[in-house]
Amino acid sequence: MRPQPASERLAALGLVLPDVPALAGAYVAAVRYGDIVITTGQLPFVDGRLPLTGLVGVDLDIAAAAGAARQAGLNAIAAAAGVLGGVDDIVRVLSVTGHIAGGPDFVEHPAVLDGASKLMVEIFGEAGRHVRTNVGAPRLPLNSPVEVGIVVAVR
């Protein structure tokens, strides 16, 4: 039995890959090199704006930040799919890196990045399980609470 294509899983989840936001500098959203695609860090934009800003543990709680990480993860998948011509060419999520802007006493970075990690498994099944890195930051671009980048294997 073949695994369900990621595009079908997205549809079943009621998710649509968003357009990749305009870039804020001299870089690209994703690069393909052989059978690997690496994305730049993606903010949790929805329809071109950040619905949440501020520091986790100060301005927003872990659940809201995890939701933002999920959205940033979806945006990272869209960036990868954009250089491939579609999400179904992603065969495995290798790595997720998340930067989380937290208050001075905030230490629950893994709980926030779980928003993106769980999304990868929802979309790609076992091929969505990955290694990851959580990084705390005093502030992120545009006062975003999270930024997520991914590395994926592709066909």
Name the class of domain 6-13+27-154.
alpha beta
* Residue 14 burial by Cβ neighbours in a 10 Å radius (0-12, 13-18, 19+): exposed
| pTM exceeds cut of 0.95 | yes
Rounded Cα distance, 101 and 148, in Å: 12
- 74-107 pLDDT, tens digit per residue, is 999 999 999 999 999 999 999 999 999 999 999 9
Confidence label for 1 from pLDDT (cuts 50, 70 and 90): low
